[in-house]
Amino acid sequence: MGVTFNEATKALLDGRNYPVVATTNADGSPQSSVVWARRDGDTVVFVTVRGRRKERNIRRDPRVSLSVFDLADPENYVEIRGRAEVTVEGGRDLNDELARKYLGTVFPPEPADIVRVLVRVVPEHITGHSA
C-alpha cells in the first residue's frame, strides 16, 4: 500500500496554500518554484507549461519534493517527497480549476501554442508538522 495523507495534510492541500515544488537540474543543482496545486485522492496535481524547466527536469528525473505551509500558521507545514508523472491530458482544465481556487476566477485565454501539462506527484514519504 502507498503513502496516504492524514487529515491535517489533506486540509493543507485543500486550502488556498501555495506549494513550492523542487526538482533537480541536469547538473544536480536544485530548482524550486511556487505552483498552484490540489489534492487528488492521495496524490497532488499541479500544472506547468510544456518546456519549462520544472517540466524538463521532471521528465529527466521524476523525483520531486513539494512543500506546503499554512498561510495562517507558517509553522504548520508538510513536505511530500515522491515521483512525478507528466501528461498533457487535462492540463488546461486543471489550470482553470486552480485559477478559480487561487484567484477566484477562470484563467484568461492563452495562445494555442501554449501547452499546459498536468503533473501528478505520487507520494513516497511525508514529513512536517502536519504529517
Q: How far is CA 125 from CA 12, 37, 41, 49, 109, in A?
A: 16, 18, 16, 26, 37
Provide the number of structural domains found in the chain: 1
In a domain, 71, yes or no: yes
At 53, is the secondary structure helix, strand, or coil?
helix
Q: Is residue 66 part of a domain?
A: yes
Domain span at residue 40? 7-127
Alpha carbon of residue 34 to chain centroid: 8
List pLDDT tens digits, range 21-71.
999 999 999 999 999 999 999 999 999 999 999 999 999 999 999 999 999
Which CATH number covers residue 65? Answer: 2.30.110.10
Q: How confident is the model over 73-102, as a mean pLDDT?
A: 95
